[in-house]
Structure 1
Amino acid sequence: MASPSSSHRQEPAPAPEEATRDWAELPRDALLTVLHKLGHVDILMGVALVCGPWARAAREEPELWRRVDLRLHGRRLITPRRVNSMAREAVRRAAGQCQAFWAEGALDHSVISRLGNTSALSLKSLRLISCDWIYDTPLALTITKFTLLEELELSNYRADFPKTCTAAGKACPLLKRLRLSSERFVKHSQVPADGEAAAIATTMPGLQSLQLFAKRLTNGGLAAILDGCPLLESLDIRHCFNIVMNDELCARCSLVEMLRHPHDPTDDYDLEFSSPDMDYPWVRMTPQTEYYDEWEFSSR
């Protein structure tokens, strides 16, 4: 039998329902912390849909755009027009304070030209991946504006960039890290192979880290780099199958602290690449040639 006191025991009052968080009321410092954790592609494509304060902070805070990362990370459905639109907007929001600009996809040179006009005195890192509409000659002219550049990457291009390497080596005395990567090694004896290597060897004595993935340089080109870059600490020449690591070259490369040989595993390589073609019978058309052929066909 229940005691009289227990029969009158009151049930605890239900906890008050937690108020729904109003993201628009976040303090500015907290909001910027959240935005810093998002990728720039996500910010440009979606953050304005959250609320007005988020959109204003994303537009009006140059600190958020000092290190721009527009790598797509597998987003295949972003159109070339959208890629360029996002890149131009990112450069604008940086307000001349951009220190690092990383982009991937169908970027054209107008974006890099605008970056050179606005952030020439602040840019320290430029990484361009699969930007097939950026060419050697115009990039060589623009790269000379980035005199504080410490890192340069030109990856997954079909063409080489000897003029850009020469210009960067002469105009960017602080350059320490260089990455030139092709998507696929193509063995073609009639195509000059050591243009980039010669440019690196003659203009970049302060280089400390160099990756040449799936490039066509030869033993002579590599030897020139070892002569011209005495401070080199890291050298990656995986998939550079024109290089024959004989005893002499191995002895010279032994002075480099971190060395990756042409046939070394690629498990940790962070970009897409294809199996090498060791007997390619013709030279690929450049993207520009493909574009005009397609335009002429569609205009008939």
Structure 2
Amino acid sequence: MGEGCDVRRWDELLPDTLGLVFKNLSLQEVLTVVPRVCKSWQIAVLGPYCWQEIDIEEWSRNCWPEKIDRMLQLLIKRSCGSLRKLCVSGVPNDSSFMFIANNAKSLQTLRLPKSEISDSIVEQVAGMFKNITFLDISYCTQMGARALEAIGMQCKFLTGLRRTMHPLQVIGKVSQDNEASAIASTMPKLKQLEIAYMLVGTTSILEILESCRHLELLDVRGCWNVSLDESFLKKFPRLKVIGPVVVDCYEMNGLDNCSDFSASSGYLPWDFVAGDMDDDYDEMSDGFWEDDQHIEDVEMWFYDDLNAVDSGYDWPQSP
């Protein structure tokens, strides 16, 4: 190289900078390829810098429950308490949720669609999620009004809730108005509420509107028992209501984007921790990627971003 020419030394980048770079790689590459490149990259992957935001939702959708549990334990431990965002589908049981609660007290955004989590465990550990600002518990059939009430009572910073149901999941249910009442009575700071396909009536929605005066987005697509008078809605000039009519997801491009209203995403202080790689290599080679399972690049799926709602593809159209 010529004299005075700057040479980029990727192995000399700070671990937090490397963590930002590695976020553009797939989960499999970060866990199995990056650590073998050089010592500094190995240290970065072992430490918390790569795991302040963990999005394994796409990967977990096609995994056996035991694999999801093992991956959660591996990655959350690496975050060393600095985890701010966790996205995972199909948390298999209450003990897995308890592990999340005990080891991720800095969480601000938590997305747990299709998880097998009960009311009783939520009541036990809701107080450990005091920093949560956005929560996605869509398609969680084991949770109900008790869990929502516990969340509302304990998570005082909650401004976004997604409780979307699949039409097939509510077959046989008489009503979910008790869930709507729990939301209305305990979550006054909500700015965004998505309850598509919940079995709620007009009275329950009016209760929510009267109690949650900061609402800016209300998604009631597929809530066929809801009828909101346009003249009444003029009382809420900041509120955007979607539904109950279901439109094709491509028709929503004209709607404004909505953020998840999370708190500042600045890095939190921690003691940098790095360990030996041998155990982690054993974990990575012990069935995580077997059967030629295709691992997509890790993406941040913002359910609360109306231009990126993926579940709209399986929603039936309005009758």
TM-score by length of 1: 0.72
Q: Does the Cα contact within 8 Å between 2:215 and 2:238 map onto a contact in 1?
A: yes
Q: Does the Cα contact within 8 Å between 2:221 and 2:242 map onto a contact in 1?
A: yes
Please, which of 108, 121, 127 is the counterpart of residue 111 of structure 2? 127
* Closer, same or farther: CA 258–81 of 1 in aligned 2, 3 Å: same
SS in 1 for 2:112: strand
SS in 1 for 2:123: helix
Task: Show the counterpart of 1:66.
Answer: 52
Task: Show the counterpart of 2:199.
Answer: 216
**C-alpha separation between the residues in 2 aligned to 1:91 and 1:220?**
41
* Closer, same or farther: CA 84–260 of 1 in aligned 2, 3 Å: same
* Closer, same or farther: CA 33–96 of 1 in aligned 2, 3 Å: closer
Measured after TM superposition, the shift of residue 165 of structure 1 is: 1.3
**C-alpha separation between the residues in 1 aligned to 2:204 and 2:238?**
16
Measured after TM superposition, the shift of residue 123 of structure 1 is: 1.5
SS in 2 for 1:181: coil
Can you list the C-alpha shifts for 1:73-114, whole angstroms capped at 9, x where unaligned? Answer: 6x7543222111111111101111111111113433323212
Please, which of 152, 155, 161 is the counterpart of residue 169 of structure 1? 152
Pairing 1:203–2:186 present: yes
RMSD: 3.1
Counterpart mapping for 1:1-300 below 5 A: 26-29=11-14, 31-40=18-27, 43-44=30-31, 47-48=34-35, 53-59=40-46, 61-72=47-58, 77-120=62-105, 122-131=106-115, 133-184=116-167, 191-246=174-229, 250=233, 255-267=237-249, 269-271=309-311, 274=314
**C-alpha separation between the residues in 2 aligned to 1:193 and 1:77?**
29
* Closer, same or farther: CA 209–77 of 1 in aligned 2, 3 Å: closer
Q: Does the Cα contact within 8 Å between 1:162 and 1:196 map onto a contact in 2?
A: yes
**C-alpha separation between the residues in 2 aligned to 1:93 and 1:178?**
27
**C-alpha separation between the residues in 2 aligned to 1:128 and 1:62?**
21
**C-alpha separation between the residues in 1 aligned to 2:168 and 2:222?**
6
The more displaced of 146-155 and 43-52 is: 43-52
Can you list the C-alpha shifts for 1:216-247, whole angstroms capped at 9, x where unaligned? Answer: 11111111101110111111111111213356
Q: Does the Cα contact within 8 Å between 1:237 and 1:261 map onto a contact in 2?
A: yes
**C-alpha separation between the residues in 1 aligned to 2:29 and 2:177?**
40
Instruction: Report the count of equivalent residues.
Output: 252
The more displaced of 37-46 and 148-157 is: 37-46
Please tell me the residue identity of whatever aligns with 1:271: S
Q: Does the Cα contact within 8 Å between 2:117 and 2:142 map onto a contact in 1?
A: no
Unaligned 5+ segments in structure 2 are 1-8, 250-306
Q: Does the Cα contact within 8 Å between 1:234 and 1:259 map onto a contact in 2?
A: yes
Structure with the greater alpha carbon radius of gyration = 1
Measured after TM superposition, the shift of residue 202 of structure 1 is: 0.5
Q: Does the Cα contact within 8 Å between 2:226 and 2:244 map onto a contact in 1?
A: yes
Q: Per residue, is there more strand in 1 or in 2? A: 1
TM-score by length of 2: 0.69
SS in 1 for 2:195: strand
Unaligned 5+ segments in structure 1 are 1-22, 279-300
Percent identical residues: 24
**C-alpha separation between the residues in 2 aligned to 1:153 and 1:76?**
15
* Closer, same or farther: CA 159–240 of 1 in aligned 2, 3 Å: farther
**C-alpha separation between the residues in 2 aligned to 1:233 and 1:205?**
12
